[in-house]
Amino acid sequence: MRAMVDDAAAAAATDVPTPAGLVLAPFRAARFTAAAGAAENLAALTSPPYDVIDDAGVTALEAADPHNVVRLILPKDRSAGEPGSRYARAAETLADWLGSGILARDDAPALYVYEEEQDGHRQRGLVGAVALADPDAGIILPHENTMAGPVSDRLALQQATRANLEPIFLLYEGGGETSRIVAETVATEPLLATVTDDRDPSQIGEGDSGGCVAHRIWALTEPATLVTIAADLLPRRAVIADGHHRYATYRHYQAERHAADDGPGPWDFGLTFLVDATVSGPQVHPIHRAVRGLSVAEAARRAEGAFAVRHLTTAGAAGSADVALLLDELAKAGQAGHAFAITDGRDAYLLTEPSAEVLARSLPADRSAAFRGLDVTVAHLTLISDVWGQEDKVGVVDYFHDAPAAIAAAAGGAGTALLLNPTPVAGVTAVAGAGERMPRKSTLFTPKPRTGLLIRLLDES
């Protein structure tokens, strides 16, 4: 099996429909009800997305409530002797919750306005069913490649449950009628509201409110409003911010259904959170790297001549204040061009001004200027592969959402933490618009949509 899968190939062998443009269709969401304690306990019923939850997090979420949605998105096998039974178990759990009234579908199809607020930042958009499109159509553009394993896992789960259990996250450049309607709607009384702690569920301590996200949702069902939104979105295009594997899963499932002669149906759409990045978009954070087995002194030595290398004293201790100072130095240097910080928690160096010779040697000339101009591209192709001579694979280069974790991993593996500045949203959209993919784990968009607030069932009823 190939390590990488091309989601454009998902529908290549079948005659699947191509939408006329960006289409976001209303749907009847399945939501937790009063029988599940949704009014007073909705946070305990929901979870972060599946791909940010580790085993300890699954255990913590299961303990939070017997009906937590983690039992659907990350189910466990019935027993050690039944590998793969987790998918059937998720389907049985979903059917039980629907049959017993723990989950119930809304009466009318709707587009759902969804607002998240975290640390004073508000992100707003629409949750609906987006019409699936080949990337070559230029309607929904990926910016990262996908791995076969996660797609296979999510596909087996969708086949068993016949449901979109959590949305993908799309960004578009709007400022039109859709954004106006969203802004007007959030001034009214919401359909539901909750506050969640979106950190690793196993790492949440008492009295610490950091990471809390307020969620509010409204339902748009007025036909005239839905027509206005449809007309506004149709000529636009969107970029996948988060959920590349889920989108590939949508398209593989769509191809299967058409190959089985099922014809057009709900499988031609996928659950999506669509956000106007120019009006109320996400915050963008870097994803840092830890390169194992390469000491920071050796990493700095190899970088000399290819980069300007400056020794720093800001990471001399392991405290968070030192990390903050190091990231501040990195941010300042990044205003003038490519910049990277490397550290093992004791020594630290700032790498800037890559030479024109090393850039020309390491970056593919046939790729767009947008791709070649990304820090994360230079980090992987120029610094890690060319200058350091490291193979870019799991176990050699690992990924972390925060700098202290990357530094701790580097220290524990006699390695080097490679710290990056965030990739601008404009850079992501430019690369996607050129039909190219960024290196894996290039961006972290927050806040992420909460899983379990809205579920889409793939049936005709």
Residues 295 and 411 in one domain: yes
Residues 138 and 264 in one domain: yes
Q: Is the pLDDT of residue 378 over 60?
A: yes
State pLDDT tens for residues 399-433: 998 899 999 999 888 899 999 999 888 888 888 88
Confidence at residue 76, expressed as pLDDT on a 0 to 100 scale: 93
Residues 215 and 356 in one domain: no
Q: How many CA atoms lie within 13 A of 73 on its CB side?
A: 28
Confidence at residue 445, expressed as pLDDT on a 0 to 100 scale: 86
Task: Please list, in sequence order, all residues whose beta carbon lies within 8 angstroms of the beta carbon of residue 183, skipping any fewer than 6 positions away.
Answer: 124, 279, 280
Residues 118 and 253 in one domain: yes
* 440 domain residue, yes or no: no
Residues 213 and 301 in one domain: no
pTM: 0.84
Q: Cα–Cα distance between 87 and 91 in angstroms, integer?
A: 6
Residues 141 and 232 in one domain: yes
Domain interval for residue 298:
287-421
User: How many structural domains compose the chain?
Assistant: 2
Residues 405 and 276 in one domain: no
Exposed/middle/buried for residue 419 (C-beta within 10 Å: 0-12, 13-18, 19+): buried
Residues 375 and 279 in one domain: no
Residues 96 and 110 in one domain: yes
CA 183 to chain centre: 24
Q: Cα–Cα distance between 74 and 89 in angstroms, integer?
A: 10
The region of weakest confidence among 204-218, 328-342, 440-454 is 204-218
Structure-model confidence comparison of residues 189 and 6, the more confident one: 189
* 432 domain residue, yes or no: no
State pLDDT tens for residues 160-203: 999 999 999 999 988 899 999 999 999 999 999 999 987 644 44
Task: Please list, in sequence order, all residues whose beta carbon lies within 8 angstroms of the beta carbon of residue 430, skipping any fewer than 6 positions away.
Answer: 368, 370
* 313 domain residue, yes or no: yes
Residues 62 and 110 in one domain: yes
* 228 domain residue, yes or no: yes
Q: Whole-number mean pLDDT of the chain? A: 90
* 428 domain residue, yes or no: no
* 378 domain residue, yes or no: yes
* 434 domain residue, yes or no: no
* 325 domain residue, yes or no: yes
Residues 250 and 302 in one domain: no
Helix (H) or strand (E) holding 399: strand 397-400
Residues 103 and 224 in one domain: yes
